[in-house]
Amino acid sequence: MAATQVIRSEWTKIRSVASTVWTLSLAVVVTVALGTLISALSKNEFGDMPPQERLSFDPTLLSFAGMTLGQLAMIVFGVLVVSNEYSTGMIRTSLAAVPRRAAFLASKVAVATGLALVVGMATSFATFFLGQAMLGSLGTSLGAPGVLRAVIGGGLYMTLIAMFSMGVAAMLRSPMLSLGILMPFFFLISNILGNVSVTKKVGRFLPDQAGSRIMEVIPRVRDDTPYGPWGGLGIMALWVIAALAGGYALLRKRDA
């Protein structure tokens, strides 16, 4: 099967499954709605903030407050794109049609990544503009130093989260097992490791902790992180490459 036919086939699979469409829609709604709400609440509470917190007040990052929950929907999307075929048994038919497993996985990841990138960028810009509208005079503009980088970075972050989830799902094959590991990891474990003093130096190198630095514009007070915004996104990209490489290695060795 030609590469264009494989890609077209993967696109048909993704858009024909209602769950993948719903998860992307949920990622947009949750990220934008929560970011807008928290921005509005923060404007009202700014006057009561301690002076130290005002120094690190980052209106750009604040508008991305909904990303914590929105990324969970992107995780579900990434997992379902890869593991749906295993749960339904369609993987045997797919691999029979596309026996070159590298082409099969690359096409699936490429189509899903392109879709995640479009949704991620649209979500990032929407949540930024709505968040700044809520902040009013406390807000910033897209032309301010570092802001455009942060907004574009927000879209890239959501895309990389989906790609990492695809790699994990390719390794585990089971949607329930993949989500059972990824959801607690990103929602609980990573936050705990990143905020406890004993494990903080390790936690900052986890994919979400490192990648989210790209959305920061105002440096944190007494921040000793050994990398910058792009360095953090680079660390996250390495996690993604490792996950996808692991998924491909296991796909080659195992039967459908």
The model's pLDDT over 55-93, given as tens digits with 9 standing for 90+, comes to 778 999 999 999 989 999 999 999 999 888 877 767 777
Q: What pLDDT, on a 0 to 100 scale, did the predictor assign at position 15? A: 79
Closest to 27 in 3D by CA, of 60, 69, 83, 64: 69
List Cβ neighbours of 96 (8 Å cut-off, separation of 6 or more): none
Most confident of 18-27, 77-86, 109-118, 196-205: 109-118
Q: What pLDDT, on a 0 to 100 scale, did the predictor assign at position 235? A: 97
Mean pLDDT taken over the chain = 89
Question: What are the angstrom distances between the C-alpha of 242 and each of 115, 163, 236?
Answer: 21, 11, 10
Quote the tokens at residue 219.
Answer: 């440096």
Q: What pLDDT, on a 0 to 100 scale, did the predictor assign at position 256? A: 53
List Cβ neighbours of 114 (8 Å cut-off, separation of 6 or more): none
- Give residue limits of the domains in the chain: 3-173+185-253
CA distance 26 to 18: 12
DSSP state of 145: T
Q: Are the beta carbons of 38 and 134 closer than 8 angstroms?
A: no
Q: What does the CA dihedral 81, 84, 86, 90 come to, rounded to 10 degrees? A: -100
> Residues of the chain with pLDDT > 70: what percent?
96
pLDDT(1) > 60: no
